[in-house]
């Protein structure tokens, strides 16, 4: 029978897996407590970074329906549970790992899909959601302006053609 404290820890971890948009597994061997504190601060309010026990976390992930991470629970493991924009948190982890090579990104999960360490780095290379949305809005606005110009050009071209036709008829009528 499982001890009540371990069962509570598994339940809490399973809830964190269910409530987060993404989770990133890291190895933190060699990082100091001060460096981990800095990492937690750099992740901001949209992510929670927790040092976890592999066995309990594996059980919790399975309870949450995530089985793709089973082989990554080896060695000292910490999980970043991301509730906000996963791109921002991935950038924070990538940047911290560049400055502190002891932090190793093992892999993760995004909306139920397993991610490798390389895919998380690619995710970090994306622009933030707000920037992508503003670019999309700008593209839509540009296309609307082009369409408006096109629709405006047709009547004005018709008016110029009719005026040219009248002028030509007036010339022909006056020449006879």
Give me the pLDDT at residue 174, please: 60
Q: By CB neighbour count within 10 A (0-12 exposed, 13-18 middle, 19+ buried), where does 99 fall?
A: exposed
pLDDT tens for the chain, 176 residues: list them: 468 888 888 888 888 888 888 889 888 888 889 988 888 888 888 888 888 888 888 888 888 888 877 788 888 888 889 888 888 888 888 888 888 888 888 888 888 788 888 888 888 777 767 777 787 787 777 777 777 777 777 777 777 888 888 888 888 876 55
pLDDT of residue 2: 64
Strands 22-27 and 77-82: antiparallel
pLDDT score of 1: 40
Residue-level pLDDT at 7: 86
Q: Is the dihedral of CA 4, 80, 119, 127 positive or negative?
A: positive
């Amino acid at each position: 029978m499982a001890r009540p404290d371990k069962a509570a820890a598994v339940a809490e971890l399973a809830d964190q897996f269910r409530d987060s948009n993404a989770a990133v597994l890291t190895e933190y061997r060699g990082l100091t407590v001060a460096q981990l504190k800095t990492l937690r601060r750099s992740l901001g309010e949209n992510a929670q970074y927790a040092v976890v026990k592999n066995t309990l976390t594996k059980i919790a992930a399975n309870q949450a329906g995530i089985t793709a991470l089973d082989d990554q629970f080896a060695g000292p493991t910490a999980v970043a549970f991301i509730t906000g924009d996963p791109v921002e948190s991935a950038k924070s982890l990538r940047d911290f790992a560049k400055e502190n090579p002891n932090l190793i990104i093992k892999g993760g999960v995004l909306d139920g899909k397993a991610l490798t360490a390389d895919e998380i780095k690619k995710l970090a290379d994306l622009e933030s959601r707000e920037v992508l949305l503003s670019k999309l809005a700008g593209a839509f606005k540009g296309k609307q302006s082009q369409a408006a110009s096109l629709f405006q050009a047709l009547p004005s071209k018709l008016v110029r053609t009719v005026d040219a036709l009248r002028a030509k008829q007036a010339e022909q009528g006056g020449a006879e």
